[in-house]
Structure 1
Amino acid sequence: MNIGLTGGIACGKSTVAAMLVRRGAVLIDADQIAREVVEPGSPVLERVAARFGQAVLLPDGGLHRKKLGEIIFNDASARDDLQNLLHPPIRAIMKERMQRYESERPDRLVVVDVPLLFESKLEWMFTEVMLVYIPRELQLRRLMRRDGITLEQAESRLRAQMPIDDKKALAQIVIDNSGELAETERQLELFWRERGIT
């Protein structure tokens, strides 16, 4: 069995992923795969540099993430171009790893951590989608505290993603992470038992 795990920025998705792994799940991290596909010398990184210019490369040939982020953050067209370059190879690797883990370990839950799962319309890849949810106001507060940014900056980052309540309406499993960690664990225990995961 597999699930797609998603959330909004500062909702605690990484915390929930770690809890699932402690229970015995196998984790595939889309962000980690995204880093792998743009390693120095990779064809994907070459295509990114061709589209956005040599300024997005560090002197050692690696990706200058901050510079690329500055280019795409407030430009939807540039963001779309980047996604069109990155998403196909990332999806191919995700799919290959999911198939491999499910055949090697059919008794284990395979969790695929995909931050922009709904935005990328990847629901079709998973048996179910689990959303780590907190209300938008709490999301703003946690994001400002976590990243040391202003309310205006936090609002801007949230606007770049699908609203958390829209995601909530699309997910089959919602884990409310707005309270104590023990409460989050309790919800995961219930999910684990309901699905009969060993």
Structure 2
Amino acid sequence: MYENRFLGILIVIKVALTGGIASGKSVVARLMVRCGAYLIDADTLAKEAVRPDSVVWRRIVRTFGRDITNRRREIDRERLGKLIFSNSQKRQQLNAIIHPWVYAEYQRRARILAKDHPDGVLLFDVPLLFETNVQQRFDHIIVAYVDKQTQIRRIMTRDNLRRSEALERINAQLPLSQKRRDAEYVIDTRMPIADLRREVRAAYNALQLIH
């Protein structure tokens, strides 16, 4: 075991899983969990952060207005998405509100997991790892990769968006071609699921061997 300075605790390994929108991160995360990893998901934490009347919710509503909420006073992700994906300044404002809470909660949950599973692999699913410049907080980085045309096709199908809208969302993040250059492991999610399982298992085993 070794000391992780970010958490101030002893853990075996802390891995960041990142990629782009519709790049297959969720599939890779599920397969890593089946291998034995313990997952903390940034999107799940972000949803918890914006519960009605939370501190984060109030700051977002104060910044962007009540038009982004629905009848249940929940933040409407589609309305907010249309607002921020076309405006980099508003996107930065939103990130500055949500991400500090998310990373603080990361630390809290990671401490619990490290205490309960001192020999475990802690996997953090962090879509905006490089965009928020927190890659140095992790011991290893995995990028879930697909080509841009596959991204576009997946987004259009999954979210029922036009091609221009899909491109807008892709271009709001760093290119996957850039992210893969800074990753220790790159997993191409276009391969058949059986091959993908083997690829993820190989990465998981390699991470365990390193430590």
- Alpha-carbon deviations, 1:43-98, whole Å to 9, x = none? 11111111111212223332222222222121111111111111111110011111
> What is the aligned partner in structure 2 of residue 145 from structure 1?
157
Deviates more, 1:6-15 or 1:62-71: 62-71
- Pairing of 1:79-94 with structure 2 (within 5 A): 79-94=91-106
Q: How many residues align?
A: 198
- Alpha-carbon deviations, 1:108-146, whole Å to 9, x = none? 211111111111111022111110111222222222233
> What is the aligned partner in structure 1 of residue 15 from structure 2?
3
Please report the TM-score for the alignment, with normalisation by the length of structure 2: 0.88
Distance change in 2, residues 1:169/1:35 (3 Å): same
> What is the aligned partner in structure 2 of residue 103 from structure 1?
115
Gaps of 5+ in 1: none
Distance 2:96 2:172 in 1: 17
Q: What letter matches 2:198 in structure 1?
A: R
Q: Percent identity?
A: 35
> What is the aligned partner in structure 2 of residue 59 from structure 1?
71
RMSD: 1.7
2:38 pairs with 1:26: yes
Gaps of 5+ in 2: 1-12
- Pairing of 1:106-121 with structure 2 (within 5 A): 106-121=118-133
Provide the secondary structure at the position in 2 that maps to 1:195. helix
Please report the TM-score for the alignment, with normalisation by the length of structure 1: 0.93
Deviates more, 1:69-78 or 1:59-68: 59-68
Distance 2:131 2:121 in 1: 24
- Pairing of 1:64-75 with structure 2 (within 5 A): 64-75=76-87
Provide the secondary structure at the position in 2 that maps to 1:190. helix
Distance 2:19 2:164 in 1: 21
Provide the secondary structure at the position in 2 that maps to 1:196. helix
Question: Could you tell me whether the CA contact under 8 Å between 2:32 and 2:201 is conserved in 1?
Answer: no
